[in-house]
Amino acid sequence: MKTPGAIPASNSVSARHEGPARLIVNLAALAGNYCTLQNLSPAAETGAVVKADAYGLDAGHITRTLAHAGCRTFFTATPAEGAAVRAALNGTEARIFVLNGYWPHSARLYREAGLTPVINALDELAAFSAGGGGACGLHIDTGLNRLGLSETDAASLLPGEGLLANCQLALVMSHLACADEPGREMNARQRARFIAVSARFGDVTRSLANTGGVLLGPDYHFDLTRPGIGLYGVNPATEAPEPFTPVLHVDAPLLQVRSVKDGETVGYGARWQADGQRTIAIAGIGYADGLMRSARQGGYARLGEAAVPIVGAVSMDLTALDVTGHEALAAETARVQFYGADLGPVAGAAGTIGYELLTRLGGRLERRYEGGV
């Protein structure tokens, strides 16, 4: 049998010509997803969750695009993230809520960047009030048991009185535990509890729905929605992109293509063994760029339209792909794509969810933003 030379040099060189692995973000698709979410909940205002650097995609680019698409309410986890969003807004007026609440040591940041804390407990409300008060949100737990005032604590509050005397309530919210599972009875139970507990706060803006909640339908929309993952092109309920448009993909060069004989192994630990002669392409991307090591179970990349499986252990900077049968395409295109429209299923194969893959995208990836304003 002919054993081809390991490295078609032109392939290797042309791949390098276009540079190392990069993250490509389609800002027009992001704006389109914002409109899709707004159209799905026409009676409510559509906010945007841009915590964790907009799920790893860069809060600056994401915020500016969403503001241009009409978004006027943003949610971050921390005050530092909120300040970054305020800077990105560059004078466009918008409300920025800090979901993880009030951090007294950052009191100045809230004032200077105009951030609105979402208060999660009575002692936190007392600290906020003691620090001068002002506009704030209240998060009331209705069953997730993560953050939020208990319903009993919420029932001890009245707008304009006591702990709320020098606070202007800008929002009353809760968060769903199973929004991505429309069949779960927990959703209706949390909704009923939210309606009951929020009633005492009168005519305040109410918010319950993340992306999954928007997809649950109008009963869940209330006044303001808080989608995150849907903006970034992932449907949390089905893991398919629909009704959203994929926003990102990762594109990596094939640094070498080699022929591996029957019985030879690939990668650290020598655990993957060729069953017959295989053509293996080595992509210049690894777990330092955010690929999961566990992606070797069922993970794949796209070479053109073809799904090419990851073989062997993903290493820090390199990943082996079985491109047997696609040699010509590998030589011609010399680059492969990860994630894209497959993000949800690929995450599932690696034992995780699209959210985690996004927030793990590595700082080494070259970033390219397309379709911006």
Q: Which amino acid is at 300?
A: Y
By CB under 6 A, name the one of 175, 206, 249, 296 that touches ligand PLP: 175
Binding segment for ligand PLP among 120-128, 210-218, 308-316, 323-331 (CB under 6 A)? 210-218
- Is 221 a binding residue for ligand PLP by CB under 6 A? The answer is no
By CB under 6 A, name the one of 21, 40, 49, 140 that touches ligand PLP: 49
- Is 229 a binding residue for ligand PLP by CB under 6 A? The answer is yes
- Is 36 a binding residue for ligand PLP by CB under 6 A? The answer is no
- Is 302 a binding residue for ligand PLP by CB under 6 A? The answer is no
Spatial contact of 96 and 63, defined as CB atoms under 8 Å apart: no
Does residue 51 have an active-site annotation?
A: yes
- Tell me how crowded residue 368 is: count the other CB atoms within 10 A of its CB: 12
Catalytic residue among 2, 110, 268, 300: 268
Least distance in angstroms from the C-beta of 215 to ligand PLP: 10
By CB under 6 A, name the one of 32, 117, 137, 227 that touches ligand PLP: 227
Catalytic residue among 2, 34, 51, 55: 51
- Is 210 a binding residue for ligand PLP by CB under 6 A? The answer is yes
In terms of CB distance, is 11 or 174 closer to ligand PLP? 174
* Cis preceding-peptide flag for 243 (omega within 30 of 0): yes
- What tokens does 39 get? 């159209």
Spatial contact of 249 and 338, defined as CB atoms under 8 Å apart: yes
Burial 163-195 (b: 16+ CB within 10 A, else e): bbeebebbbbbbbbbbbbeeeeebbeebbebbe
- Is 236 a binding residue for ligand PLP by CB under 6 A? The answer is yes
- Is 47 a binding residue for ligand PLP by CB under 6 A? The answer is no
By CB under 6 A, name the one of 228, 284, 340, 354 that touches ligand PLP: 228
- Tell me how crowded residue 256 is: count the other CB atoms within 10 A of its CB: 18
By CB under 6 A, name the one of 89, 99, 115, 357 that touches ligand PLP: 99
- Is 62 a binding residue for ligand PLP by CB under 6 A? The answer is no
Give catalytic residue positions: 51, 268
User: Contact residues for ligand PLP (CB under 6 A)?
Assistant: 49, 51, 99, 175, 210-212, 226-230, 236
